[in-house]
């Protein structure tokens, strides 16, 4: 343990230590989320993807992860409200529907915030909300379901 802390302090292993904190602690962005919640007076969860990564698409398992998150956070501070900050290149349209249904199961007022990009299945998630909040430079893309066919 002391060796791991020493490596983190010297910069060696910093990326791995940060990813470990994000994946295992779940506290890395709490201050930013709280600041947004204080401003909007609404509960906030985030779904963001690194757009250049080939595995950044919305997939079926994402609704399960979102439900786990919703069960683990205190939604009583702003009852019956939920904002989903969404940044995604898209993905599976059925998974997008499941995300909407999961979020709606935990709130009466569901809003999607698009700070940058919500394409394809991300657009479907946004359209499933009661309202969409975007900046002047945010973009939502066309819904373009694609069939991936592999051959031997």
Task: Tell me which fold the domain 30-140 belongs to.
Answer: 2-enoyl-CoA Hydratase; Chain A, domain 1 (3.90.226)
Report the alpha-carbon angle 132-136-139, nearest 5. 60
Please report, for the chain, the start and end positions of each structural domain, with discontinuous segments joined by +: 30-140
41-52 pLDDT, tens digit each: 999 999 988 777
Tokens representing 62 are 């994402």
94-109 pLDDT, tens digit each: 999 999 999 999 999 9
Which SS3 state, helix, strand or coil, does residue 83 take? strand
Cα separation of 66 and 87, whole Å? 14
% of the chain beyond a pLDDT of 90: 48
* Mean predicted confidence (pLDDT) in 116-129: 94
Write the DSSP string, 98-114.
HHHHHHHTT-SEEEEEE
């Amino acid at each position: 343990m002391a060796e791991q802390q020493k490596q983190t302090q010297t910069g060696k292993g910093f990326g791995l230590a940060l990813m470990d904190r994000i994946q295992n602690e779940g506290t890395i962005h709490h201050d930013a989320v709280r600041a947004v919640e204080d401003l909007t007076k609404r509960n906030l969860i985030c779904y963001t993807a690194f757009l250049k990564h080939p595995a950044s698409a919305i997939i079926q398992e994402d609704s399960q992860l979102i439900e786990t998150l919703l069960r683990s956070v205190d939604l009583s501070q702003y009852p019956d409200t939920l904002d989903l900050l969404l940044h995604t290149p898209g993905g599976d349209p059925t998974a997008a529907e499941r995300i909407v249904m999961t979020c709606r199961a935990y709130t009466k007022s569901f809003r999607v915030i698009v700070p940058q990009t919500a394409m394809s299945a991300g657009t479907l998630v946004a359209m499933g909300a009661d309202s969409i909040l975007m900046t002047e430079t945010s973009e939502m893309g066309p819904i373009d379901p694609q069939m991936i066919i592999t051959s031997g």
